[in-house]
Chain A
Amino acid sequence: QKEVEQDPGPLSVPEGAIVSLNCTYSNSAFQYFMWYRQYSRKGPELLMYTYSSGNKEDGRFTAQVDKSSKYISLFIRDSQPSDSATYLCAGNSGGYQKVTFGIGTKLQVIP
């Protein structure tokens, strides 16, 4: 079993839709969770960083963590074609501990 499971997609949505991206993880020691956006042939860009369970909002993006079910989500409101990218979820137990990534979900927002 992979430590971080993520549906690779692709996920296609019309412009303006609310996008829901999800991951599950198996490592109970994970305390910190991240979402990265990766455009084709580019390095990942940190989008959201959260600690433990709860919600965090930043503009059109909301990250949710439910540690009881080991489930993490990223919501994108009013999706734009420029949001088309691969979104990677990740987790770690803190500090300089190894960050474990999911495979990434490819999102396409259609104009």
Chain B
Amino acid sequence: GAVVSQHPSRVICKSGTSVKIECRSLDFQATTMFWYRQFPKQSLMLMATSNEGSKATYEQGVEKDKFLINHASLTLSTLTVTSAHPEDSSFYICSATPPGRRGDEQFFGPGTRLTVL
């Protein structure tokens, strides 16, 4: 149990375009999902906390108008990178916590590698 999926696994886009990444909890409902970014040889950095039915909470330094998060259902959160630039190229990973587990017991998706040309 506690499976989190992401789609797509890899995306290449041109500078200036927008990219949508989906995060799904396959076998549990998640009122909260987390979005992380991982640059090469750097630690996972929390970008935002996605809350079902309400606005996401962004970490300091993360532009909410650039990284749009929509948590439309208890099993789906989407991250849209708007007007992507090469510096947005990174590994984007989501996570969620199944009901009954502590909030910090997070189960991660397989990640989405974004390359902006």
User: Using a CB–CB distance below 8 Å, which chain A residues touch chain B?
Assistant: 2, 4, 6, 8, 32, 34, 36, 41-46, 49, 88, 92, 94-99, 101-104
Contacts and interface: CB of A to CB of B under 8 A. Distances in A.
Given A46-B105, A96-B104, 17 more contacts: A2-B43, A41-B111, A41-B113, A43-B6, A43-B110, A46-B106, A92-B104, A94-B104, A96-B32, A96-B49, A96-B97, A96-B103, A97-B103, A98-B59, A101-B44, A102-B43, A103-B42
A90 to B, nearest CB: 8
The contact size tier of chain B is 20 to 34
A88 B104 contact: no
Interface of B: 4, 6, 32, 41-46, 49, 59, 91, 93, 95, 97, 102-111, 113
B107 to A, nearest CB: 6
Contacts of A8: 41
A102 B43 CA distance: 6
Contacts, number: 61
Contacts of B91: 41
A103 B46 contact: no
Contact of A45 (B42, B44, B108): B108
B58 to A, nearest CB: 12
